[in-house]
Amino acid sequence: SVSNILISACLLGRPVRYDGKGKPLVHPAIDRWKAEGRLVAFCPEQAGGLSTPRPPAEIEGGATGEDVIEGRASVIEKTGRDVSQAFVEGGRKAVDFARAHGCAYALLIDGSPSCGSGFIYDGSFSGGRHPGLGVTAALLRRAGIEVFSDREIEALAARLAEGT
């Protein structure tokens, strides 16, 4: 059967990012999947109850989404507010949403403390980055959903060609 793809809503241009903007990914595969009706847009930070625009947030102390899920680290807004609970709740909703919509794959924007899968920022709000998963990417992967970053769209297209 043909699987759907959960996609970061901002990658489809929806104005849901912390700065109130989208970040549309322009690629022929996006147009194709859109035409096939396979793209399911979701923003875990909005689903977790955060408003838009909102202060930027990073996972503190060079930790990862896995650490946040396990309660070993927090997601902190630049203003100092702890938003870990909203991030975890949004990530759990993303898993439920993906399952409800038949998504075996997710295409998520890299670098986000929610959606990042190749890298995330280190919590210093100074541009430092390190390899690691954001909170939603980690929860989706735990749920068995294959996560690809926006920089891996070719790999996702190849995976779909072989797997479905």
Cα dist from 125 to 9, 76, 121, whole Å: 23, 10, 8
Give least dist CB 125 to ligand SF4, A.
16
Give least dist CB 28 to ligand SF4, A.
21
Residue with tokens 């749920």: 143
Q: Over the chain, what HEC string results?
A: CCCEEEEEHHHHCCCCCCCCCCCCCCCHHHHHHHHCCCEEEECHHHHCCCCCCCCCEEEHHHCCHHHHHCCCCCEEECCCCECHHHHHHHHHHHHHHHHHCCEEEEEECCECCCCCCCEEECCCCCCCEEECCCHHHHHHHHCCCEEEEHHHHHHHHHHHHHHC
- Residue 43 or 160 with smaller CB distance to ligand SF4: 43
- Residue 17 or 38 with smaller CB distance to ligand SF4: 17
- Residue 10 or 145 with smaller CB distance to ligand SF4: 10
Contact segment (CB under 6 A) with ligand SF4 among 4-12, 61-69, 96-104, 152-160 equals 4-12
The Cα 9–Cα 90 span in angstroms is 13
Interface map 60-99 toward ligand SF4 (x if CB under 6 A) = ----------------------------------------
The reply on whether position 114 binds ligand SF4 by CB under 6 A is yes
Give least dist CB 1 to ligand SF4, A.
26
Touching ligand SF4, residues 19-48 (CB under 6 A): 43-45
Contact segment (CB under 6 A) with ligand SF4 among 54-62, 77-85, 98-106, 112-120 equals 112-120
Interface ranges with ligand SF4 (CB under 6 A): 8-10, 16-17, 43-45, 109, 112, 114-115
